[in-house]
Amino acid sequence: MSNEATLHSQDLLHHGHVEHGHGNGHDGHDHHHEETFISKYVFSMDHKMIAKQFLITGIIWAIIGAFFSVLFRLQLGYPDATFPWLESILGHWAEGGRITAEAYYALVTMHGTILVFFVLTAGLSGTFSNLLIPLQVGARDMASPFMNMLSYWFFFLASVIMMSSLFVQTGPASGGWTSYPPLSALGDASIGSKIGMDLWLISMAIFVVSSLLGSLNYISTILNMRTKGMSMTKMPLTIWAFFFTAVLGVLSFPVLLSGFILLLFDRHGGTSFYLSELFVQGKVLPNEGGSAILYQHLFWFLGHPEVYIIILPAMGMVSEILAVNSRKPIFGYLAMVGSLFAITVLAFLVWAHHMFVTGLNPFLGAFFVLLTLLIAVPSAIKVFNWLTTIWRGNIRFTPASLFSIGFVSTFISGGLTGIWLGNSAIDIHLHDTYFVIAHFHIVMGVSAFFGMFAGIYHWFPKMYGRFMNQTLGFIHFWITLVGAYLIFWPMHYEGMAGMPRRYFDYSTWASFNQFGGLNQFISFVVIIVFATQLLFVFNFFYSIFKGRKLTSPNPWEATTLEWTTPIHPGHGNWPGEIPEVHRWAYDYSKDGKDFIPQTVPVSPEESGH
């Protein structure tokens, strides 16, 4: 055994896990048995490969979910037109080239479910927590690589079941992405409440299992497997964000699971958790004593932390990318960590602001108004610190840094409208209108996607050893940014005029047909923005095979540990010893140097400051 390999073995022992065969060779690869295609790409336990599996599955789901929005925007923008090609795609759901009402509600439901859970939860957290946690804290892999593999395959199984619901005779679930009872609890309530709803519930239950397996792994890896010298306060903000995201998931997803299981009991077990005193087509149902509001409490107790499960990873990556591309230390590191913590705590105390109009006691509502407005404070701290980080920075405009700046923009403009909706009195007027759609799509949908795009452009070289095309990246950014504002900004005005969401056709409505032209315009922009996302998808897959190759292991001149690995790191990440950490992650433009990696020891002069 060479000296380096001996060190490598000791190094693995120091980390408390010797993986079979990893002590041999210089590249951290296993030389005892050749990896087969299946062990390397399908049932992989390498966190980097699992990250790619999550990302590519997420991209496929994102195309499907976005395509659904194009289909229902056609209906909203052109309610009287017929599109013969629709019938060839949707069959009897679009007879004569017009989407039926049932199909419209199914599309809206699946669009929300896919993008919130399958893309922005699994695709975002699953990809970047997996890719970056071991690389940035200095670990060989996750605490449990096997559990990590299971978390992807549970997600894949949930995906297969959700996908299959699109092909059943009665169609997919159509009770909205929240699936409120009694609509979701009674099979006879609508055609989309039949088998499609059962598949939806089973798929979501399995999805929760996947999420929990992943989150427990992320938490234990961050707490137990940091390399020598990597104290919690030296971790990059990305890792803090993934940590708090995982904590949110572990504490809130089980509540949703219980809500779904009780709903399945109501559907098939004759129970009445959510049902009471109902008439269906003139028949009196035997159910009594349940409350549909109970489901809303269970759903939103996950549903509100969920929006932070989606946005926190994006916040962490944006903090990292802005610091790297401004060539400046992040402003207010401890305030950033503190505000992530505050958001995590407050996220559990605001769920009932989704329920101001359910007959909630107004006195109780006042507490939720206060807590909801309080959560704006840590968000504002983060915005202030991002702006101060780029202020007078030597900014490099890469696609990643542009999407990060775009994230800050949409996060501010989308977040401000939350102050209106958080007031229970104003919410009585704005609830369930297009104002709500505009608010959460900008702050959570668009911003989270911007964080995700920034992360993909920035860490693509780490994943694939190549760069994505920059020009296509710039085109992607500008059309998406302008398009997102053109789509969702006008919806605020429709909402203030009282235009309700989830309606199939507004044209017959005297008070809302004044928005016909505006709806047409929005639908037109949606098609352009969707086409631009396909450009991104092309850029992504083309660059995997044909992108410009990486020549140095640290292309962005960043300080964090993931750029100390080889250009194509093997399973185990570092060929020799895991590097030791001596300083925090943001030493940019310091002591006359452009950047000082975390592995460089602190000089006596520095410690004397």
Rounded CA separation 134/151 (Å): 16
Query: CA 378, 240, 220, 587: dihedral to nearest 10 degrees?
Result: -160
Alpha helices (H) in 123-231, listed in sequence order: 127-137, 145-164, 195-224
Q: How far apart are CA 85 and CA 7, in angstroms?
A: 64
pLDDT of residue 467: 97
Output the six-digit token pair for 328: 């400046």
Structure tokens at 271: 């129970």
Backbone angles phi, psi at 285, to 5 degrees: -85, 150
Non-local CB neighbours of 361 within 8 Å, separated by 6+ positions: none
Two structure tokens written together for 94: 């679009």
CA proximity to 222, closest of 336, 122, 137, 334: 137
For residue 39, the model assigns a pLDDT of 81
Domain ranges of the chain: 44-595
Residue for token digits 């085109």? 475
Q: List beta partners, residue 549.
A: 466
Closest CA to 63 of 531, 479, 547, 546: 531
CA distance 91 to 99: 10
Instruction: Give the angle subtended at the CA of 350 by the CAs of 347 and 351, to the nearest 5°.
Output: 100
- Are the C-beta atoms of residues 300 and 352 closer than 8 Å to each other? yes
- Judge whether 473 and 399 are in contact, CB under 8 Å: yes
Two structure tokens written together for 223: 């707490």
Candidates 121, 343, 125; CA nearest to 219 is 125
Q: What is the pLDDT of residues 46-85, one digit of tens each?
A: 999 999 999 999 999 999 999 999 999 999 999 999 999 9
C-alpha span between 98 and 22 (Å, rounded):
60
pTM of the model: 0.92
For the chain, residues with pLDDT lower than 50 are: 1-32
Quote the CA–CA distance of 275 and 305 in Å, as a whole number: 26
Residues in the chain, overall count: 609
In this structure, are strands 588-590 and 593-595 parallel, antiparallel, or unpaired?
antiparallel
**Which of the listed CATH numbers 1.20.210.10, 3.50.50.60, 3.40.50.300, 1.10.10.10 matches domain 44-595?**
1.20.210.10
- Confidence at residue 35, expressed as pLDDT on a 0 to 100 scale: 76
Q: Is 26 helix (H, G, I), strand (E, B) or coil?
A: coil
d(CA 129, CA 483): 29
Percent of the chain with pLDDT over 90: 86
User: In angstroms, rounded to a whole number, what is the distance separating the alpha carbons of residues 66 and 481?
Assistant: 16
Q: What is the pLDDT of residue 609?
A: 58
3-state class (DSSP) for residue 304? helix
CB 222 within 8 A of CB 47: no
51 residue type, one letter:
A
Write down the pLDDT at residue 542. 97
Burial readout 204-235 (b: 16 or more C-beta within 10 A, e: otherwise): bbbbbbbbbbbbbbbbebbeebbbeebeeebb
CB atoms within 10 A of CB 297: 16
- Whole-angstrom Cα distance, residue 105 to residue 173? 8
Strand partners, 433: 500
